[in-house]
Amino acid sequence: MAKPWRAQRSRDKYYRMAKRENYRSRASYKLKQIDHKYALIEVGDTIVDLGASPGGWSQVARELGGPESKVFALDLERMPPLEGVTFIRGDIMNEAVVKRLLELVPEGVDVVISDMSPDISGAYPYDHARSIELCEHALKFATCVLKDGGNFAVKMFSGDLSKGYVARVSRFFDETHTYHPRASRSTSSELYVIGLDFHGGQY
């Protein structure tokens, strides 16, 4: 007998669509919906996908940016190769990883995206705090590599620390939004924080 989570997954609309349309993850549709609402990625952009493995967001980033785009996928875990995507294995908290990226694109990047999640413990206050910690690291990374006018999107577990994090993002961007894509499960506490038009500043 199939395990309950497997049966639930097989009934999931976006899981089935991802299989049919050859995306590596159902999360691909979250980025598609974020981009549709906020015009996050433009043709020809240089894009960095944090915590990229298995590559669903990198696939969509490349699709939206087109053949003239540059997509860099960063993760601690290995990721199967993707056409048009450069994989960098490393920890975004390591300054050497930032330095390596900027050696490849010294002019900076147009978009930083992150669908990173902490390992789930089941204790929500702890998981929320760990999610915010990852979001902080993603924001710090973004402020180091984004060009003026660049965009940012990061997944956050909603909770009592969320308001403060959104306020910190707003210090660096002309527009800040929170969004729950349709592809996110209705029971999920995840929200995406969107920063548009980076105007610089030190994290």
Q: Which residues are catalytic?
A: 155
Helix (H) / strand (E) containing 175:
strand 173-179
C-alpha to C-alpha distance for 131 and 157, rounded to whole angstroms: 6
> Is residue 85 within 8 Å of 58, Cβ to Cβ?
yes
Alpha carbon 190 to its chain centroid, in Å, reads 12
Q: Which of 103, 110, 106 is nearest to 45 (CA)?
A: 110
- What is the number of residues in the chain? 203
**Any idea what the Cα angle at residue 60 is, between residues 58 and 66, rounded to 5°?**
100
> Is residue 116 within 8 Å of 74, Cβ to Cβ?
no
Alpha carbon 96 to its chain centroid, in Å, reads 20
